[in-house]
Amino acid sequence: MNRFAYLTSGFAVKTLSRLSKARINIHGKENLPDGTSIFVINHFTRIETLLMPYYICQLTGVPVWSLADYGLFKGSLGVYLDKVGAVSTRNPDRDRIIVKSLLTGEANWIIFPEGFMVKTKKIFEKGQFMVSSPEGTHPPHTGAATLALRAEFYRRRLLSVRENSPDEAKRVSELFGMDSVKSVSEKPIYIVPVNITYYPIRARENILNKLAANLVEDMPDRAAEEIMIEGTMLLSGVDIDIRFGKPIPVGEFICNTPIEKDIAATCEINFDDPIPSKQVMRNVSLKMMQQYMSAIYSMTTVNHDHLFASVLKQIPFQKIDEADLRRRVFLAASLNLGKNEIFHHTSLDADQVHLLTDDRYNKYKEFIAIATEKGVIRKEDNTLVKDSSKFSVPSDFHRMRIENPVSVIANEVEPLAMLQRHIRGIAWQPAFRIRRRVFNYLQNKELAEFENDYKAYYIKGESKGKEVGSPFLLKGASKDMGVVLIHGYMAAPLEVRELAEYLARRGLWVYCPRLKGHGTAPDDLAVRSYKDWIESVDTGFALISSITKHVVAGGFSTGAALALDLAARASEVRGVFAVCPPLRLQDFAARFAPAVDTWNRLMTKVHLGVKKEFVENRPENPHINYVRNPISGIKEIGELMDSLEPRLSEITIPAMIIQTLNDPVVNYKGSRQIFKMLGSEDKQYILFNFDRHGILMGKGSHKVHEAIWNFIKYL
């Protein structure tokens, strides 16, 4: 190996990493052993042949050599590969070179057990590892296991005979070109399974395609395909999760076997001599291969594309409702993956309710776009029509990543038996059962979160009873229409209970979510953001929409703003009503801070980002509302308003704004401005003449209830 060429290669890879948009995440560094190792890695792109030697060398401080396809050892590329420590698969001294470097600890090795790039990711068939190739299918190679065993065999043999048979030890060390027996490493040899998962996998024309086309005439289709796939990954952005598994000590496979007898034999044993334990070595190699293959693919980093592709593949129906598919994937994504020892992408750590509402992270949208483009599905209104042949009829091996990436994605997680069982159970259930499962999951989750938050933040003498803060559902007479009804800032679900009961008596299902931070104690609210409130609203919407055909969103005060926010994001909302909604933070007045100078000081603190500081609150309903107002909470209201205002024009569904002229908390002019900014053609503004803010309960509230019912019943 030419050290200068090796270092130059590392510098080039480091530069490439900085220039590309690839995000490389390394997991399991603690699993790297203190000993020479063969790293066995799944092989999907050329990228890993460049990245992995560099990163493993950086982590271990030991050079990393690798096997490379003999076809690459031509011209200047062949000279370069030879200098950086790559060995041709057809080099007659290949095995001896690998074993020697492992014996001395001179280098670690990378070997791809599939033997080539598995572009289809089809490596599992009928419960067994079977690698798909253009020529058919075959079991994974045992080469890495065999080489590791041979290296450990000779390492132990040299250490064993150097005292009792120094001549044999000298002869064997010379056989491998070592200066002396002392060159043999005292440290054991390991096999380290490594998984690389790419997300997302997409292919499109890119600048590298165009550059290659200009430089190379009649570029082979295979090369064009690789540049398209891997160029897109590097230039458009891809998450590359590199996961090191627990090292497999090779010596453990030798203990208590006939191999030990051959290690201690006093007779001469040359490198390719048949030994009595040869068949045992073969059997052990096969066992070891199964172990590291299982380890490699059990470390696949599961992502949203895997879940969508797998559910779509396993659903036995040709026609699938879009909302139904999203519910099924939501259930799959909400499985406690980490608890079930399934590694997953960081995007699956967060609440997955966005899959059921606005898809704000574009997980569904991007998957459906690629599935539609490649003909896996076609859309008919809100129905997806699946072409099942895309999952059963083999595509061209070298074109599959471009022509049918959805099948490739589904293939990748086939070895994950627990995940497959979970998805199969979801895919085969009827739609009504899926709705029920989503409802039960969300309701239990919300109740459990309230119980946990209440317990964590409870303050004796300040926290209200659980009946004030607990979210609740009121059943209606018909499942045609439901309402998600949202309480205000520093309040709790009890604030909107009178209206909820009024609507339920008229046959509507009503769910009143608890906004995170509410119904417990002000200290809980102080650590929440408006995005937490949005997730609470989304959960409420998803819950009620799993029961009823249509959903209306409504709320009071800050809850009204959150209802408008939901209507701007979720296309499935049928209508929206907002009672006393603020437009800007300045629309809130004396109720938050009675004196003007206090208000001005408060605003200064808000802009300075002061946290965990409170001001006194004098609520109309002290049996519901907090009496301490966190400054951080006011800041979050301001950010919610700033986020909502430019999107009001995107609300085109029927809408109603209700305001009271003498509202002591919210300036009525702000709500009037909201009304004007709405994009809805069907909208109405109703102004009452109450002298209080909380007009959903108390004297005259029945008039407000009637106005809301008259709005809903015509939707």
Q: Which of 374, 397, 429 is the last residue of a domain?
A: 429
Q: Is residue 699 part of a domain?
A: yes
Do 90 and 120 fall into the same domain?
yes
Supply the pLDDT for residue 488.
96
Judged by average pLDDT, the poorest of 185-189, 492-496, 662-666 is 662-666
Phi, psi at 610, each rounded to 5°: -65, 135
Quick one: residue 329, left, alpha or beta (phi over 0 = left, psi -120 to 50 = alpha)? alpha
Do 337 and 289 fall into the same domain?
no
Do 406 and 452 fall into the same domain?
no
Do 438 and 421 fall into the same domain?
no
Q: Is residue 212 part of a domain?
A: no
Amino acid at 151: A
Q: Is 101 exposed, middle or buried (0-12, 13-18, 19+ CB in 10 A)?
A: buried
Q: Is residue 210 part of a domain?
A: no
Cα atoms found within 13 Å of the Cα of residue 288, Cβ hemisphere only: 30
Domain of 622: which CATH number? 3.40.50.1820
Do 604 and 541 fall into the same domain?
yes
Do 393 and 492 fall into the same domain?
no
Supply the pLDDT for residue 71.
60
Do 326 and 445 fall into the same domain?
no
Domain total in the chain: 3
Supply the pLDDT for residue 52.
86
Q: Which of 384, 405, 429 is the last residue of a domain?
A: 429
Do 333 and 440 fall into the same domain?
no
Do 404 and 516 fall into the same domain?
no
Q: Give the structural domain span for 383.
A: 304-429
Supply the pLDDT for residue 18.
60
Supply the pLDDT for residue 183.
81
Domain of 246: which CATH number? 3.40.1130
**Residue 668 — very low, low, confident or very high, per pLDDT cuts 50/70/90?**
confident
Q: Is residue 206 part of a domain?
A: no
**Residue 559 — very low, low, confident or very high, per pLDDT cuts 50/70/90?**
very high
Supply the pLDDT for residue 215.
43
Which pairing describes strands 64-68 and 124-125: parallel, antiparallel, or unpaired?
unpaired
pTM of this structure: 0.88
Residue owning tokens 């396809």: 69
User: Measured between alpha carbons, how far is 671 from 673 in angstroms, rounded to an integer?
Assistant: 5
User: Measured between alpha carbons, how far is 93 from 91 in angstroms, rounded to an integer?
Assistant: 5
Which has more pLDDT, 275 or 147? 147
Supply the pLDDT for residue 41.
93
Do 479 and 627 fall into the same domain?
yes
Q: Is residue 233 part of a domain?
A: no
Q: Is residue 96 part of a domain?
A: yes
DSSP string covering 449-517? HHHHHHHHH--TTTS--HHHHS-EEE--S-SSEEEEEE--TT--GGGGHHHHHHHHHTT-EEEEPPPTT
Do 79 and 185 fall into the same domain?
yes
Q: Is residue 207 part of a domain?
A: no
- What 3-state class would DSSP assign to 30? helix
Do 454 and 490 fall into the same domain?
yes
Q: Is residue 222 part of a domain?
A: no
- Give CA separation, 553 vs 168, 354, 444, 545, 644, in Å: 85, 16, 22, 11, 15
Q: Which of 400, 429, 458 is the last residue of a domain?
A: 429
**Residue 348 — very low, low, confident or very high, per pLDDT cuts 50/70/90?**
very high
Supply the pLDDT for residue 691.
87
**Whose CA is closest to 158, among 139, 179, 138?**
179
What sign for the dihedral angle of Cα 289, 291, 294, 298? Answer: negative
Angle of CA points 304, 439, 307, to nearest 5°: 15
Angle of CA points 465, 471, 472, to nearest 5°: 110
